[in-house]
Amino acid sequence: MTQRNVLIRALTLALVAALTWTLAGAGAWSPSARADDEPLSSAAQISITDLTPTAPNLRSTLTISGKVANLGSLNLSELSVRLTISPEPLASRAAINEVAGAANTFDGFALGETTTSVAAVLAPGRQRDFELRVPLEQIPLPRAGVYVVGVQLVGIDPNIGYAVLAVDRSFLPWMPDDPDAPLNIVWLWPLSTWPGRTPDGVLLGDLIAREISAGGRLDRLLNIGSQSAKAISWILDPALLQTVAAMESGYIVDNAGVLQPGTQEPEARRWQQSLQKAARTQPMWTLPYADIDAEALLRAGLERDVVRAITSGPITARAASDVTSLGTIYWAPSGRLDASALNVLASAGVSTVVLRSGATPPEPSVPFTPTGAVDIDTQFGPIRGAIIDSGLAATLRMPQGNAAEILLARQRFVAETAFVSLEDPTLERTLVMGPGDPQWRGSPRLLRGLLASIQLSPWMESLGFDDFLANPPSSVSRAISPYTAAQKDRELPVTYVDRIVTAQESLGVLRSVVENPIDITEPIAAALLRSGSAAWRTRTTNGVELITSIQDDLDADIGLVSIVSKGTVTFSGDTGRVPITVANDFDRPIKIGLRLEGQPAARLVASDLTTVSIDAGKRASLEVPIRIVGGEPLPVVVQLLTPAGEPFGSNSTLTLQTTAYSRAALWVSVGAAVVLVLLVIADTWRRARQRRRLAHANDDEWDEMSQ
C-alpha cells in the first residue's frame, strides 16, 4: 500500500471516529455507539478494578475505576474511556455465567456523554489510571434486574487508526425497591487440609505448618472468619485440630525422606489460641475425622472406618482444641451420595450432608431458585441436605489473581443474589454458599468483599447454620440424582483403597497378638483414617506416601515378634518334639501360636501349638510334637499364629531328619545276610547229602556187578 493510500485510510478512519463520537454524544443509544462490537486487534488493555456502590439506588453516583495499559511497541494516542450498559437486564442466571466467562453478547451500547479523557499519548509499557463517575439517574435502566456494565477504551492505534481498542465488563444489580422478603445467605466456612501425618506424628512435608503460619491459607481463613462471626458458619476437620495441638509441643517434618525438627511451634500455638477464642463465641460443627471419602471406603467394605471417623470427630475436636461440636456434617466430595452411603452416615450420627445443586434438582422444575434445604429420607430417619448454590460456588472458583478478577467475582456474587431475589421478591428463601471442597482457598480481598456485600445489599441477610437446621426445608420437592459412574471415577482409586484394606488387616492381626495394644494400635488406626481422606482425591501421590509409611510402621511392629530357630533338627526315631525359639521384642506381653508344615505336607504330622504367652522383651522355647514319615531330610515351614489361628509375621524354615530309618535299614541288611548264610549252608548240606546218596548208589551197583 502506498504512503498516499495509508494517509487516505487514516483520515477516513479519523472522520468516521469523529462522527461516531459526535453521534454518541448526541444520543446515548445511537446504533453507531453499540458496545457489543468486538474491539479491533490492539496492544491496548483495560481492566476495571473497582465499582461502587455495590447496591446503588437512584441517589447514587456510579464510580468505576481501573487501569489502561499499552502492551505494544508503538505509542497509543487520544485515549479516552466511556461507559457501556446492556439495554435490558439479563434474562437468566446462565447469562450471568456467560458474561463472567467474557462473553460480549450482552454489552449493549456506549454512553457517549460519559466519555472521559485518559491520556493524550501512552507510551509502550506504560499504564494509566482512569475513573468514571456517572449519576445513576443518567444511566438507562428500564426496570429492576442485573445489567452488564462495561468500560470501552477508544483512541488511536497506529496500526488500525481510531477505534475501540479494548473493553472490560462487570455486573450492575439494579434494585430500586427493597424486596418484601430477604434472601438469606448461609455461608459454610470449612477449615480442613490434606492430613499428611504418620502414626508417630511425623508431618509429611511442611504444608500444614505453612498453612497455619501468618499469611498462610488456614491462617487467612481463620482471621477473616473470626472478624465476620455472624456471616459465616464454621465447619472444622478434627484431624486438623489434632495435628495443630500436637505441633505445639514440637514436631518432626519428613522432607523427601530427610527428617528435620519443625520450627513453627509458636505459630501452632497462636493459631490454636485464635481458634479457641472464636469457638468461645461462635457455634461450630465438625466434619468426620480427616474428611474421609465415605463412598470409596464403603465400596471397599470399610464401613467400620466410616462410622469411627464420624463418631470420633466431635470427641477429637474437644480433646484437641476444647471445641464443642454442634453436630457432624458430611461434605460429599463429588456433591452426590447414593442411598446406601446416606443410610450409613445417618446411622452413625451425621446430622447434615452438604450436596451440590445438581444432586437434588427440583421435581418438577420451578421458575425460581428454591431454598437450599431438603430433608432426605433414610432407613434411620430424615437427614438434612444443605444444597450449595451452583452460582455462588462458581463465584468462589473464579480467578482471583488481581484486582480486576477479584472485582468481577464480587460483582458476580451480588448479581447472582440479586437475580434470585428478583425471581420472586415476596418469597423468603435461603441460599447455601460454600466452596467446592473443604480444602479451599480464597483471596482475602475477595472474601472480605463478599462479606461486605452481604451487609451492604438490602436484598441479602446472613443466616447462621443453626437457624438453617432449625428452619423447615424447602417446600419445593426435589429428586435425588443417581450416583453415576462419573462420580465413582472421582473417588479415591481402587488400588489405593485396597492398600488401606491391606493395612487394616495387618492392624487387626497386630491388635490380636499384643496384650494391651491401644497405645500402639490407636495411632496407626487414626493414621489409616487420615489415609482415607477425600482430600487425597486431588493429591493421590501424597496419599500414597502416607499409606506407605503406615504399612512400613505396621510391618516393623509385626517384625518385633520373630522366630529365632533355624538349621536342622535330628531325631532318633520317627516321632519327637521340635524346639522353636520365639523372640518378643515388644515392651509388653504377646499371645502367639505355632504351625509346622512339611514340604511336602504328607511327610509331617504336627498339630498347631495353642496360644502361648511370652513376656515383654523375652524369648521362649516352644516345643511342637511331630511325626516324620520317610527317611529323607524334610524341609519344614514354621509359621507364627494369632490366637485365632491366622498367620502372623514372617515364617521361617527348618530341616527335620530322623535316624530311625537308617537303623531299620541296617537290621534289614543284617537279617538278609544271615538268611543268605543260612541258605548257603542249607544248599551246601543238601549238595553233600546228594553226593553221599550218589556214592552209596554207586557202591551198591559195583557190588551187584561183582557177584
Return the pLDDT at 659. Answer: 82
Do 106 and 86 meet the contact criterion of CB atoms below 8 Å apart? Answer: yes
Check pLDDT > 70 for residue 32: no
Going by C-alpha positions, the residue among 245, 263, 305 that lies closest to residue 550 is 305
Based on C-alpha coordinates, what's the Rg of the chain? 43
Q: Give Cβ neighbours of residue 615 (< 8 Å, ≥ 6 apart).
A: 584, 589
Check pLDDT > 50 for residue 6: no
Q: Which three cell numbers stand for residue 153?
A: 477504551
Average the pLDDT over 311-321 and give the result.
97
Strand partners, 362: 478
| Residue 484 phi, psi dihedral angles, 5° rounding | -95, 175
Q: What is the dihedral of CA 390, 393, 399, 400, to 10 degrees?
A: 150
The pTM of this model reads: 0.85
H helix or E strand, kind and range, residue 449 = helix 444-456
**pLDDT > 70: what percent of the chain?**
88
Return the pLDDT at 690. Answer: 72
What are the pLDDT digits (tens) for 387-432?
A: 999 999 999 999 999 999 999 999 999 999 999 999 999 999 999 9
Average the pLDDT over 576-597 and give the result.
94
Confidence of residue 677 (pLDDT cuts 50, 70, 90): very low
Ramachandran area for residue 290 (φ above 0: left; ψ -120 to 50: alpha; else beta): left
- Nearest 5°: the CA angle 614, 615, 619 is 65
Do 283 and 522 meet the contact criterion of CB atoms below 8 Å apart? Answer: no
**pLDDT > 90: what percent of the chain?**
80
Do 355 and 337 meet the contact criterion of CB atoms below 8 Å apart? Answer: yes
Single-letter code of the amino acid located at 187: W
Alpha helix (H) residue ranges in 142-206: none
Return the pLDDT at 610. Answer: 86
Distances (CA, A) of 422 to 97, 99, 146, 451: 17, 19, 9, 21
Average the pLDDT over 22-43 and give the result.
49
Check pLDDT > 70 for residue 25: no
Q: Give Cβ neighbours of residue 244 (< 8 Å, ≥ 6 apart).
A: 208, 212, 268, 271, 272, 320, 321
Return the pLDDT at 688. Answer: 65
First to last CA, the chain: 169
Q: What CA–CA distance (Å, rounded) separates 60 from 54? A: 10
Return the pLDDT at 151. Answer: 97
Return the pLDDT at 3. Answer: 42
Q: What CA–CA distance (Å, rounded) separates 351 from 360? A: 18
Check pLDDT > 50 for residue 54: yes
Do 217 and 211 meet the contact criterion of CB atoms below 8 Å apart? Answer: yes
Grid cell 480486576 is found at 404
Q: Which three cell numbers stand for residue 700?
A: 551198591
Return the pLDDT at 661. Answer: 54
Average the pLDDT over 549-559 and give the result.
96
H helix or E strand, kind and range, residue 465 = helix 465-470
Average the pLDDT over 100-125 and give the result.
94
Do 558 and 509 meet the contact criterion of CB atoms below 8 Å apart? Answer: yes
Listed range (23-32, 194-203, 223-232, 257-266) with the worst mean pLDDT = 23-32
Do 338 and 486 meet the contact criterion of CB atoms below 8 Å apart? Answer: no
Do 580 and 623 meet the contact criterion of CB atoms below 8 Å apart? Answer: yes
Confidence of residue 696 (pLDDT cuts 50, 70, 90): low
What are the pLDDT digits (tens) for 171-192?
A: 999 999 989 999 999 999 999 9
Q: What CA–CA distance (Å, rounded) separates 194 from 531? A: 10
Please report the DSSP string for 31-79 in residue order: GGGBS-SPPPS-SEEEEEEEEE-SS--TT-EEEEEEEEEE-SSS-EEEE
Confidence of residue 636 (pLDDT cuts 50, 70, 90): very high
Q: Which residue has the higher pLDDT, 227 or 677?
A: 227
Q: Write down all domains in the chain, each with its CATH number in brackets.
A: 3-174 (2.60.40.10), 183-489 (3.20.110.10), 562-661 (2.60.40.1710)
Distances (CA, A) of 326 to 209, 351, 372, 675: 27, 9, 20, 97
What are the pLDDT digits (tens) for 60-104?
A: 999 999 999 999 999 999 999 999 999 999 999 999 999 999 888
Return the pLDDT at 29. Answer: 35
Listed range (39-43, 546-550, 556-560) with the worst mean pLDDT = 39-43
Do 598 and 555 meet the contact criterion of CB atoms below 8 Å apart? Answer: no
Can you say whether the dihedral through the CA atoms of 487, 488, 492, 493 is positive or negative? Answer: negative
Q: Which three cell numbers stand for residue 705?
A: 556187578
Listed range (27-41, 174-188, 402-416, 550-564) with the worst mean pLDDT = 27-41
Average the pLDDT over 2-6 and give the result.
41
H helix or E strand, kind and range, residue 163 = strand 161-174
Q: Which three cell numbers stand for residue 592?
A: 502367639
Q: What CA–CA distance (Å, rounded) separates 584 from 588? A: 8
Confidence of residue 666 (pLDDT cuts 50, 70, 90): very low
CB-neighbour burial class of residue 319 (10 A; exposed 0-12, middle 13-18, buried 19+) = middle
Average the pLDDT over 279-285 and give the result.
94
H helix or E strand, kind and range, residue 354 = strand 350-356
Strand partners, 58: none
Q: How many residues does the chain have?
A: 707
Going by C-alpha positions, the residue among 320, 318, 313, 314 that lies closest to residue 242 is 320
Strand partners, 640: 594, 648
Average the pLDDT over 139-147 and give the result.
97
Q: What CA–CA distance (Å, rounded) separates 356 from 336? A: 7
Do 328 and 310 meet the contact criterion of CB atoms below 8 Å apart? Answer: yes
Average the pLDDT over 140-160 and give the result.
96
- In 367-508, the DSSP E strands lie at 373-376, 383-388, 429-433, 460-462
